[in-house]
Structures are given as C-alpha cells and as structure tokens.
Amino acid sequence: MTGVNEFEQRAAELIEAGRRLYQLGLVPATSGNFSARLTDGRIAITVSGSHKGRLTFDDIMIIDAAGRSLDDRRSSAETGLHLQIYHRFRDAGAVLHPHSVNATLLSRGRRDHLVLTDYELLKAFPGVNTHECAVTVPVFANCQDIPALAAEVDDWMERHEGPVHGYLIGGHGFYTWGATVEDALRHVEAFEFLFDCELRAGGRQRL
Amino acid sequence: MTGVNEFEQRAAELIEAGRRLYQLGLVPATSGNFSARLTDGRIAITVSGSHKGRLTFDDIMIIDAAGRSLDDRRSSAETGLHLQIYHRFRDAGAVLHPHSVNATLLSRGRRDHLVLTDYELLKAFPGVNTHECAVTVPVFANCQDIPALAAEVDDWMERHEGPVHGYLIGGHGFYTWGATVEDALRHVEAFEFLFDCELRAGGRQRL
Amino acid sequence: MTGVNEFEQRAAELIEAGRRLYQLGLVPATSGNFSARLTDGRIAITVSGSHKGRLTFDDIMIIDAAGRSLDDRRSSAETGLHLQIYHRFRDAGAVLHPHSVNATLLSRGRRDHLVLTDYELLKAFPGVNTHECAVTVPVFANCQDIPALAAEVDDWMERHEGPVHGYLIGGHGFYTWGATVEDALRHVEAFEFLFDCELRAGGRQRL
Amino acid sequence: MTGVNEFEQRAAELIEAGRRLYQLGLVPATSGNFSARLTDGRIAITVSGSHKGRLTFDDIMIIDAAGRSLDDRRSSAETGLHLQIYHRFRDAGAVLHPHSVNATLLSRGRRDHLVLTDYELLKAFPGVNTHECAVTVPVFANCQDIPALAAEVDDWMERHEGPVHGYLIGGHGFYTWGATVEDALRHVEAFEFLFDCELRAGGRQRL
C-alpha cells in the first residue's frame, strides 16, 4: 500500500527535475511533461498547462494505471504516452518528456530513426558498456491523436530488436525514462548531449 | 477603481520578468521594455534607459491610456507601440519587448513576414490546438518615428486575417503580449524557441 | 581629494563586474582585466593573473596615472592599454577588457576594422540616437609589446574621425570603456551582442 | 605525513570543481572524473558512476599511487589515465576530465592531433608567454582497455618534444591537469574556449 509520503517524495523529485531541465533550456513555455510511478501502480504526473520550470505540489496530480484521474484534475494531454512506457517496461519508474531545440530540429528531418554510435556517453544508458555499439532512436511523426501515437510507438517497440532508451516526435521533443527520476534525468542529459553532437556534426557533414 | 496595490503587484511582476529575460540573454545592455495594464486602463511601464535585468520599483512608472506620464517621468521611447497593442486587443494585460540575437538576425533578412508551422510549441499560443497550423509573424522595417511605426503595425493587423501573437522589427527584437505578465512571458519563451529553430534550420536549408 | 571609500567603492564595482562577465562566459580562465579611475586620477585595476569571475578586494590594486604601482603589487600586463584610454578620453571612468569566443573569432579574420550598422542596439552607445548610423570598430594585430600596441591604438584614434566606443585585438578579445563601471558594462553587453550577430550573419552570408 | 584534513580539503575542491564544470555544461549525465594528489602520494578520486555536478564527500574515495582502493570502493573506470599523468608529471597535483560537446566533436574528426596557435588565451598554460607559439593537443582513439590507452598516451608523451597540457580522446572529452585543482580548472576553461574557437572557425573555413 502506498502512503501519502511516497507520492510527496516523487512529486518533490518531479518539481526539482523541472527546475533543472528549465535551467538547461529544455522545457520552454509550458512544454514538456513528467511522471513517476508509485509502488502500487498509481502514477504521479504533471497537470496540463503548467510551467515546468516553476512547478509546485499543486501542479502534480495522481492517476491510476489506466490513466484515470484520481483527484478530479486533468493530467497532461500526453498521459497516454507515459502509460505506454509504464505498461511495456516493468522497471520504468519515471518518464520525462523535454522539448529542446536540438530534439525539435533533429526530429523535423525526413528520417524515421537516428543511430547513435561511437560516443563514450552512450555508456550513460543501462546495459551499454562500450562506445562501440549502436543505439537506435526512432522518430515518430507528430500527431494530436495520442492513443494512435501511443499505439504506433508500442508497435515499433514490439517489432524492434534490442533495447530502446528513448524516442523523438517530429517537431515535438523527446521521451526517455528510467528506474528513478534521477536515472531518467541522466538519460535526458545524455540524449540532449548526443542530439547536440549529431545536429552540429550533421550540419558540418552536409557542407 | 485601481489602488496602489494593483500597480505595485504589476510592477513586481515586470521586475521579475526582466530578471528572467536577462538570464535567458534576451535583454542585453538597456534594450527591451515592458508594460502591464491596470484594471482602470492606466499602464505601468518601464522608464527610458534602465537595465531590464536589474529593475527596481523606481524604474517602473505610470502613464494613462493615451501615453501621458502621470508622474513626471519619461517612459520608454517605444511607448506608442505598447499603446497600439492595448488599443487593439481588449484582453491584452501585458506587453513584453525582448531583444534577442535570434530575433535580430531573423528580422534583418529581406522577408516581410515569417510563417511558423508544424511545431508542437505553437500550442503555447492561445487558440492553437495543433501543430498543423500556420502562425504568421510580420516583420516591420526598423524606424525611429514611433507613431509612424505604430500606425504601420496597426494597419497590418487591420488587414491581416486570423490571429496574431507577436511581430518582429528589423534588427530590433520582437513584441508579444498576453492577458497577464505570466502569459506574455510564456509567449516570449515560445517565440524565442521558434526563432532559434527557424534560424538554425534556415541556415542548414540554405546549404 | 580621494578617500579610502572611493577606492573601495570602485573595487567593489569591478569585483561585481567580473562576476557578471564570468556568468556571461566573457572572461574564461584568467583572461580579461578591468579598471576604474578615481577622481584624483589614480586608477584601481585588477592585479596580474587573477580569475576575473572570483575577484576579491586583494585582487584590486592601485596605480598612478602613469601606471606606477602605489602598493608594490604588479598590475595587469595590459595596464598600458588602460592608460591610453584614460589619457585620451577625459570622461572615461572605467575600462573593461573581456575575452569572448565571438570577439576572438571575429578579430582573427583578415580585416582591419568592422562596421556595425542598422542595429537598434547601437543606441546603447553614447551619442547614438538611431540605428541608421555606422559604428567603426578597429581591429589591431595582437602584440605582446604593450607600449607599441598602445601607441598603435592611440595613433588610430588620432586619425579616425567620429566617435569610437571600443576596439578588437586579434585573437585576444576587446576593449571598451564608459563614464562609470555600469556604463562600461552596458557597452560590453552591447558589443558582445553585436559581435554575436555579425559572426552568425557573416557565417550565413558566406554561404 | 598526510592527515585527514588534507584529504577533506582536496575532496571539497573536487566537489566544487564538479559544480562549476556542470554549470558550464562540461560534465553531462555521469560523464567525467576528477582527482587530486595528496602530499604522501595517495590520490583522492571520484567514485565510479556519480553525477559530477552534485558530488558529495561520499563520492570521493582514496587510492594509493598504484591505483588500489584504500577504502573498498570502486574508483572511476578511467583511474589508469589519472595515474599515468601523476607518474609522468611530478608537479601534477590534480587531474580533471570533462566531457564537452566541443571536445567530442573535435575529437571525432580524422586528425591525430590539433595545433593551437595565435590565441592570447594560450598564455593560460604554464610557461606560455606569447600567442606566437604552437600548443599541440594529441587526439587518441577511444578505447575501453584503459591500460592500453594509458600506455598509448604515455608513449606519445615520451616521444613528443615540448610541453603538453592536455589531450583529447575520440568522442570522449579531454584530460588536463595542474599543480592544484584551481590550476587544472583554469586549464579546462582555456581548452574549452580554444576548442570552441577551433570548432566554429573550422566550420566556417570548410565553407
């Protein structure tokens, strides 16, 4: 059984995550949304429309594993994308969706996936022990029909062999997750670094 | 009737807005100017020449709806541009004019307007519910004759069909507004993000 | 007559200027140096080799108008460049020398001067009332012989018609000044913004 | 003989160094590692896997000059690279390994070394008195076999004539050192500035 304290602890972590990601420029305006799963399966998640750099406890609500509000408030419009991740990955305890310029520019290109290879920082992801590996990051077309988008993401993950640590949505930032909020933050920092490298290297390669 | 407290509250919000925008690099030197409308129609506005990142209450003055100083101080040289917005948009409660490198570079180009489309972040603007829309941002030539420039802006808005959320002035930053200072700040963050994307994508496209 | 208090006040301003410029990334490692002139003509100046982002009162020393140490410490190696400015401009009360990537890249090009025009931010400089002006910024080749470099700067200023607000040294940052430390800081922010614009626009123009 | 206090002092400096480097964006996720040598030859070094921007005393462990843990914890996987530097340079008191985008991009190119010349900031390195010098920065291919990589680095240093102040590892950041943590931090700031210049200048040159 989950007490009030566990919710408050996760909520405090999401508030702090927002403050950090805003300082890094990754959640401008009211973009982005965050969540953390409690041990009983319920989910603490940011409410719709709040500024992620200045979250308060009032901006974190609670939903059940099916996404139903447990406190009469409206959760993020993209709640379904969080649920897809929690359903598929039993060990996912937190999901973060930042919205950076780098992710936006990379994802607006024509490609349907990105392959990251030969970066030492790939070792920030679980199970990666060497830069000599290839981490695939799928890119999905942006879509306001969240159930359809969640199904497309889930279908890709079903078909894809090998681990996946995050994905891009066209013109819309990226999703990543981890066992804890701290783990998910580490994955955000790693992806943002790698996207920055890819974008800047790509710009030069096209010359 | 508007009491002293409402003015002080708006002034405090403008001071905080300046601090935030300076941290984002959007009001270098003494560039930029800000205002907020009181419920009785008078306007709290930054005085001429102050540093927007380190505003104090002494840097916020009060003018009437026609722009006349109500306290013997001189308001920003661009007061007329603020008034144009308040006159045209009944629900505008705050106007922010930041001065970023991105806006300066974008606006110095030859085009007379910018069309932003296919960005999730467009949903930061009121009435926008999907990335599949086109937000037009007009670009006006810079001009030291503020009444003439205000008339040109007003004329464009009169002729333009569909909503407008902000505009660029050549080599001179941008204007945006909102129902509250917080709303206007959100629009600044959204525009700056989108201008950054456009500029960096544009650089690559021209290659 | 100048008391201890005036020196301490100027020193406190230079310490704060260093903190701000470091936050803006303009004085990495131990680059840069700053000074302020007292009313009796003596000069408060940073000692050689200190980190400008973490200055203490011990890092600010005092020299006479001819550059002689009045407290047995060694002033910045570039003291002669500060003196040239104080000698030529009677109303200069502070000199700041930041060392940014933008200034370094711009100044390493082949040109011997830069002309800034059509930027609203040019109005940050004294006597500039319109963007329709041209501010010339000379670029001098870097040189470890400071008296020779100071003479070259002085000679250029003697021959140049019209006001000058700062200059670049090849691969070595820029110098600017003002009536007060605050004024000089405003000029630093304006130049850095304009150099950033020029560099990024220049990169695109060459495409 | 080294007391507890010397270890605690060095550990505090490494914690503060991490905080600063994280603010500069140089140690994203859990990248990077730092160390400082005590007067008796033992070494304070960051433990494996910690976030360098939020280090605590628990994240700093102690090893002997041969790299053996003296407190049962596991030191950074790259401990061998730190030891190589301490063995070769008697006056090295601290080693810092940051992981920046600039260093990653520069080091992923095909070249086997970089020559930095004609930058005033080169004077940040010990023994450099003029911009008219050439500082060589070797680039080693990334490798998970740390003893082999350390041997390759040592071999290059044995053969190279003239001083060396740091090196790059492909897709993996850079190493630099100094007599104190403060000195090593100054070298990090100088290298990062110079790498930024090289990368941006290089991008333009290829146009």
Tell me what pLDDT residue A74 has. Answer: 87
Residues from C in contact with B at Cβ < 8 Å: 118-121, 124, 129-132, 182, 186-187, 189-190, 192-193, 196-197, 200-201, 203-204, 207
| CA separation, residue D55 to residues C36, C101, D48, D52, D68 (Å) | 39, 29, 12, 5, 22
Quote the pLDDT of residue D197: 96
Q: Which of A63-67, B130-134, C106-110 has the lowest mean pLDDT?
A: C106-110
Higher pLDDT, residue A2 or B5? B5
Q: Neighbouring chains of B at 3+ CB pairs within 8 Å?
A: A, C
Tell me how far apart the alpha carbons of residues D159 and A80 are, in angstroms, rounded to a whole number. Answer: 60
The string of DSSP codes covering A33-59 is: EEEEE-TTS-EEEEBTT--GGG--GGG
Residue B207 has pLDDT above 70, yes or no: no
Q: Which residues of chain C have pLDDT under 50?
A: 1, 204-207
Q: By the 8 A CB rule, do D187 and D45 touch?
A: no
Cβ contact, residue pair C120, B172, below 8 Å = yes
Q: Which of A118, A193, A195, A206 to mutate to test the interface with D (most CBs of D within 10 A)?
A: A193
Rounded CA gap, B207 and A24, in Å?
29
Report chain D residues whose CB lies below 8 A from the CB of A189.
Answer: 28-29
The beta-carbon neighbor of D29 closest among A132, A190, A203 is: A190
Q: Check: CB of residue A28 under 8 Å from CB of residue B193.
A: yes
pLDDT at position D27, please?
A: 97
Per residue in B171-198, pLDDT tens? 999 999 999 999 999 999 999 999 999 9
Tens of pLDDT along B40-95?
Answer: 999 999 998 899 999 999 999 999 999 999 988 888 889 999 999 999 999 999 99
A154-173 per-position pLDDT tens digit: 999 999 988 999 999 999 99
Question: What is the DSSP annotation of C103-165?
Answer: HHHHHTSS-SEEEEES-GGGGGSTT---SSSEEEEEEEPP-S-HHHHHHHHHHHHHH--S---
D122-169 pLDDT per residue, tens = 999 999 999 989 999 999 999 999 999 999 999 999 999 889 999 999
pLDDT of residue A4: 60
Residue B203: what pLDDT?
52
**pLDDT tens-digit readout, D90-114:** 999 999 999 999 999 999 876 799 9
Helices and strands of chain C, counted as H and E runs = 5, 8
pLDDT of residue D79 exceeding 70, the answer is yes
Q: What is the DSSP string of D16-67?
A: HHHHHHHHTT-S-TT--EEEEE-TTS-EEEEBTT--GGG--GGGEEEE-TT-
pLDDT at residue A204 tops 70 = no
Q: Give residue-wise pLDDT tens across range B150-178.
A: 999 999 999 998 899 999 999 999 999 99
The amino acid sitting at C185 is L
Q: What is d(CA A184, CA A173) in angstroms, rounded to the nearest whole number?
A: 15
Which residues of A fall within a CB distance of 8 Å from D169? Answer: 120
Q: Residue B189 and residue B172: Cα distance in Å, rounded?
A: 17
Q: What is the pLDDT of residues A74-127, one digit of tens each?
A: 888 899 999 999 999 999 999 999 999 999 999 987 679 999 999 999 999 999
Q: How far is CA D103 from CA A177, B130, D97, D98, D198, in A?
A: 27, 39, 11, 9, 10
| Chain B, chain C: beta-carbon pairs less than 8 Å apart | 59
Residue B62 phi, psi (nearest 5): -130, 135
Q: What is the mean pLDDT of residues A41-57?
A: 95
Which site among C27, C31, C204 would you substitute to test the D interface, given the most D Cβ atoms closer than 10 Å to its Cβ?
C31
Cα-based distances in Å from A204 to A163, A192, A207, B200, D106: 29, 18, 5, 13, 12
**pLDDT at position C205, please?**
41
Cα–chain center distance at B133: 22
* Residue B4: pLDDT band with limits 50, 70, 90: low
Q: How many CB atoms lie within 10 A of CB D44?
A: 25
Give A174 to chain D, closest Cα distance, Å: 16
Closest CB to A186: pick one of D30, D169, D172: D30
Judge contact between B186 and A51, C-beta under 8 A: yes
| Percent helix / strand / coil, chain C, rounded to 5 | 40, 20, 40
Residues paired with B75 in a beta bridge: B47
ipTM for the assembly:
0.93
Closest CA to B197 of A87, D28, A173, A23: A173
Three-state secondary structure call for residue B37: strand
Pick the closest to residue A67 from A50, A49, A79 (CA basis).
Answer: A79
Instruction: Tell me the pLDDT band of D3, cut-offs 50, 70 and 90.
Output: low
Distance from CA of A110 to the nearest CA of D (A): 23
Residue D143, pLDDT score? 93
Q: What is the rounded distance in angstroms from the CA atom of residue D73 to the CA atom of residue D91?
A: 27
Hey, are the CB atoms on B189 and A28 less than 8 Å from each other? yes
Q: Is B136 helix (H, G, I), strand (E, B) or coil?
A: strand
Residue of C190, C200, C201 lying closest to B29 (CB–CB): C190
Q: How many CB pairs lie under 8 A apart between chains A and D?
A: 59
